[in-house]
Homo-oligomer: A and B are copies of this chain.
Amino acid sequence: MTTQAQPPSETVLALAAWQLPDNDYRPADYMLKETLLSLGNGYLGTRGSFEEGAPAGVPHCEGTYLNGVYSSEPIVYGESAYAFAKHNHKMLQVANGKVLCVSVDQQSVNIGGALSHQRQLDMQSGVLHRNWIWQSQSGKQLQLQSRRFISQQRPQLLVIELTLTALNFSGPVTLSSALDAAYAGYHKADDPRVGVMSIADSLSLRQQALLPQGGQMLHQAKGSDSWVVACWQDQLPAATPSLPPAITADNYLQQEYQLHLEQGKPLSVHKLVVYQHAAAGADTAQLCQQAQQTLQDAATAGFNTLLTEQQQWWQQFWQGADLEIAGDLALQQGIRFNLFSLAQSAGRNGQSNIAAKGLTGPGYDGHYFWDTEVYVIPVMSLLQPGLARQLLAHRYSQLPAARARARQMSHQRGALYPWRTIGGEECSAYFPAGTAQYHINAAIAYAIRSYYLASGDRDFMASMGMEMLVETSRLWLELGFFNPRAGGRFEIHQVTGPDEYTAIVNNNYYTNAMVKLQLSFCCELLTAEPTWANRLGVSSEELAKWQQAASQMYLPYDSELQIHAQDDSFLQKQRWDFANTPAEKYPLLLHFHPLVIYRHQVLKQADTVLANVLLDDQISPAQKARDLAYYEPLTTHDSSLSACIHSIAFAETGDITRAQHFFGDSARMDLDNHHGNTEVGVHIACMAGSWLSLVQGFAGVRVRADGLYLAPKLPPQLGQLRFHLQYQQRLLRITVTATEARCELLRGEPLTLYLHGKPVTLTTGAHL
């Protein structure tokens, strides 16, 4: 349904190839920019709020988050039932260490008195710059320049530099630096996609103390009992007098300093903030000591060293990951922002994953969904394989919880991963669009397959991947059955597929097809590696059962329409009345009861179409085209996961114009706030998906068991596309134009790949 009117969004940040320039302050955009100017390093994330806090009365959403750390609270049901999810996890919101407030002659320096104001997030170095001039009521002009970054090399560290220049006076100014764990969270009423993130709801203060030019707080996360320490240190010119602490309340520590400015002479102060957590039961003295040591190390290194480290990390990242689009600055900025956000949000420590909104906001409570496996890991496998492995390692660490969940759901064997979680237990409070999405298991298997095909990492398979594959495969045989009433075909009932506008159906094509793919892959590996089968207790009978299930898997098909049926009943339903659905009734989920939506042929997002994209060459292009032609007009794309997949699907089936349209939707979904909710966080899956649109869609890159395939079909609007791939210990750079494709092997052993089906061998230095 490409005709659906999206309210046109203004571009709130200016265009630039490597920057996000924020050239004007508008209260209505403050919260959106908090998201867009977020900083993170996969562990620690903080939103792009002003150092002095949000202007009075302006909607805002202060937030600093730790990935993989969470509070937990009981889920309340009006009417509960057996094995309903018991607790909701929330990504831990921690103390705000960004606070730096200046006052002149007792007047607070804030946006109200600004003569000019610019910010700029530099994606090449991961630094947020701010530069503004403020004027007092008596005419004193003060220039404030700040640089803020979250260290990529030191996971716990936030760094801020503030430079003050008195433009037309000399004299004292007061600086106050604070650590604030008392700030309120944000809640947007009546939108189930947005969680409440009130810091007081999630943290219990255990200790706090002011230290010389800084302070420290120790909290415990409610429900999970994890410990979190936050501490900071201000670095000021020697002999800056500290004023007595003005305010020291519970959850609020502040240091005040008297600075003397000489007209025209810049004065810089630095603030270093460290956040560190430990599991329940940890030695808190040790935890605090570690944090203090980290803080001390950073202080000793000093701002310039820290900044250099930062620049180096990002330089290295972009060397292996950059994607250049010639001829369209907006798309270029969009795709870089998307890659930048993925790098900032993905957990790197094997104890965390990537939340649906990364570390950029409270949306979806910071939960991990299948977004990771179907959208992010296939990208990371080709850009940052080490990081992809860490994301999968995190899922592996939660395999025991998935086994326990399978038992709760009355499955005797196997593992069932939760639809949404942080700590490993199912957190979905609405099971028809939660627990019923059993396809999360197939998504994890798909990600393992994607990573393995791209990396060839047998060590990972032996130590983690195979066990996850086997345990999730076992679950399918528990869930599905060989239906005697249908010739013994393998059927899977009462599940919800990716399209959440259809729930609890029999034989969802996507699910069945993905399970078939999973079981086939699993059987191939185990047949080739009997030692893995032995170690994991897979008998030949079990293996045979999986092979049988894969080969007899029922993939619903309507012979009259010659299309795959989304499920057993979908095609029998009434079609949604799009003609009489005004634009303001989208997204449908906010304007119609689920039963109304479920009753109709209407899709939130790609389902059959997604399966066909993921199944690659197992489905013929003609079949893909028929399925697409039927389902796309029924799709609202109310989910941000939809446009990118449709872009690939149209590219695969030769409709480059529509592929380009959908790519445009996804490439700048957050920068242009297409879904109107970026203020609570970016759309991580869509960001990854936009890279897939370019690389899988337009460049036709496919990673198959027998090698790497490339079949570019560039839209004429895109002059040239250049991107990097890591493939089986090699680094490739690929340049595509409307007429030619050029592959360079930048690092690694010679490689044979397939360009438009023909084998081509690359050796280092020898460019195709």
Contact = CB atoms under 8 A, between A and B. Distances in A.
Contacts of A593: 81-84, 408-410, 431, 435
Interface string A478-513: 010101011000010110000000011010000000
Interface stretch (A11-19, A134-142, A147-155, A594-602): A594-602
A74 to B, nearest CB: 9
B485 A596 contact: no
Nearest to A428: B79
A88 interface: yes
A330 interface: no
A82 B431 contact: no
Contacts of A76: 76-78
B431 A595 contact: yes
Given A410-B596, A494-B599, 7 more contacts: A76-B78, A80-B192, A81-B430, A82-B589, A83-B593, A436-B595, A485-B571
Interface string A66-103: 00000000011111111111001000000000000000
A571 B483 CA distance: 11
Contacts of A408: 593
Nearest to A193: B79
A596 B407 CA distance: 12
A428 B503 CA distance: 19
A82 B506 contact: no
A408 B596 CA distance: 10
A88 B83 contact: no
A486 B436 CA distance: 29
Contact of A572 (B82, B409, B483): B483
A83 B75 CA distance: 20
Interface residues of A, number: 52
A595 B77 contact: no
A73 to B, nearest CB: 10
Contacts of A3: none
Contacts of A591: 82
Contacts of A82: 589-594
A503 B599 CA distance: 13
Contacts of A506: 569, 572-573
A192 B81 contact: yes
Interface of A: 75-85, 88, 190, 192, 408-410, 428-432, 434-436, 479, 481, 483, 485-486, 491, 493-494, 503-504, 506, 568-569, 571-574, 589-596, 598-599
18 contacts: A77-B429, A78-B85, A78-B88, A78-B429, A82-B591, A82-B593, A408-B593, A409-B593, A409-B596, A410-B593, A431-B595, A432-B432, A432-B504, A485-B571, A493-B572, A493-B574, A494-B598, A506-B573
A485 B559 CA distance: 13
Nearest to A573: B493
A430 B82 CA distance: 13
Task: Among A431, A591, A595, find the residue whose CB has the most chain B CB atoms closer than 10 A.
Answer: A595
Given A504-B595, A593-B408, A79 B571 contact: no
Among A408, A428, A431, A594: residue with most chain B CB under 10 A: A594
Nearest to A590: B82
Give how many copies assemble into the complex.
2
A502 to B, nearest CB: 10
A568 B491 CA distance: 16
Contact of A589 (B81, B428, B572, B598): B81
Nearest to A502: B494
A431 to B, nearest CB: 7
Contacts of A79: 192, 428-430, 434
A572 B486 contact: yes
A192 B81 CA distance: 7
Which 9 residue pairs across A and B have the least CB separation, nearest first?
A78-B429, A83-B593, A75-B78, A79-B430, A79-B429, A494-B599, A76-B76, A410-B596, A481-B574
Contacts of A434: 79
Contact of A435 (B428, B485, B595): B595
Contacts of A80: 190, 192
A331 to B, nearest CB: 35
Contacts of A429: 77-79
A85 B595 CA distance: 13
Nearest to A567: B569
A418 B574 CA distance: 24
Contacts of A598: 494, 504
B592 A83 contact: yes
A595 B503 contact: no
A310 to B, nearest CB: 39
A419 to B, nearest CB: 11
A465 B569 CA distance: 36
Contacts of A599: 479, 493-494
A127 to B, nearest CB: 38
A89 to B, nearest CB: 12
Contacts of A504: 432, 503-504, 595, 598
Nearest to A493: B599
The winner among A78, A88, A483, A494 for most chain B CB atoms within 10 A is: A78
Contacts of A574: 481, 483, 493
Most buried by B among A79, A428, A431, A481: A79
Nearest to A77: B78
B491 A572 contact: yes
A78 B572 CA distance: 32
A435 B432 CA distance: 15
Contacts of A594: 81-82, 431
A64 B32 CA distance: 55
Nearest to A481: B574
A511 to B, nearest CB: 13
Contacts of A77: 76-78, 429-430
